[in-house]
C-alpha cells in the first residue's frame, strides 16, 4: 500500500500532463477550423474544448460562445446552420452558414483543423 502512495504524485503528474497535452492539441486543431471558417465568412455559434457540462464560457461580440467543458478529450466548432453537434444541417442555409458556403470554403474549413496540427 505504501508503494501506491509513493507512485501517486508521479501518476497525478502523468495524467495531468496528458490532459494538458490533449487540451493544447484540440485547441490548436479547432482554432484551425474556426479561423479559416471566419476568414471564409462562415459564422460560428460555439467553440468548445471538451464535451459534456460547461465549466467556463463566454460569448464574444460576434455571438460565438467559447466554452471549456468537463470532459477534456475532444472539442468542436459548431458553425451557423448546424442543428446538432453531429453537424446535421438545420435547413436554414442563410448567409454566413456552413451550408450556404461555397464548396471551396467548406473544404478549406474542414481541412484547416488537421493542417493546423502540423
CB 101 within 8 A of CB 40: yes
6 catalytic? Reply is no
Residues 6+ apart with CB under 8 A from 36: 108, 109, 112
Within 10 angstroms of residue 75's Cβ, the number of other Cβ atoms is: 24
Q: Which residue has the cell 490533449?
A: 22
Please give the positions annotated as active site. Answer: 30
Amino acid at each position: 500500500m505504501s508503494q501506491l502512495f509513493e507512485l501517486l504524485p508521479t501518476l497525478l503528474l502523468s495524467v495531468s500532463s496528458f490532459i494538458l497535452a490533449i487540451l493544447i492539441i484540440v485547441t490548436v486543431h479547432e482554432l484551425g477550423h474556426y479561423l479559416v471558417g471566419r476568414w471564409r465568412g462562415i459564422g460560428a455559434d460555439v467553440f468548445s474544448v471538451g464535451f459534456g457540462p460547461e465549466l467556463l464560457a463566454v460569448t464574444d461580440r460576434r455571438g460565438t460562445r467559447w466554452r471549456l467543458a468537463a470532459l477534456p478529450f475532444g472539442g468542436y466548432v459548431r458553425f451557423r446552420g448546424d442543428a446538432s453537434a453531429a453537424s446535421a444541417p438545420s435547413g436554414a442555409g442563410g448567409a454566413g452558414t456552413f451550408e450556404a458556403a461555397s464548396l471551396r470554403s467548406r473544404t478549406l474549413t474542414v481541412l484547416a483543423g488537421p493542417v493546423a496540427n502540423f
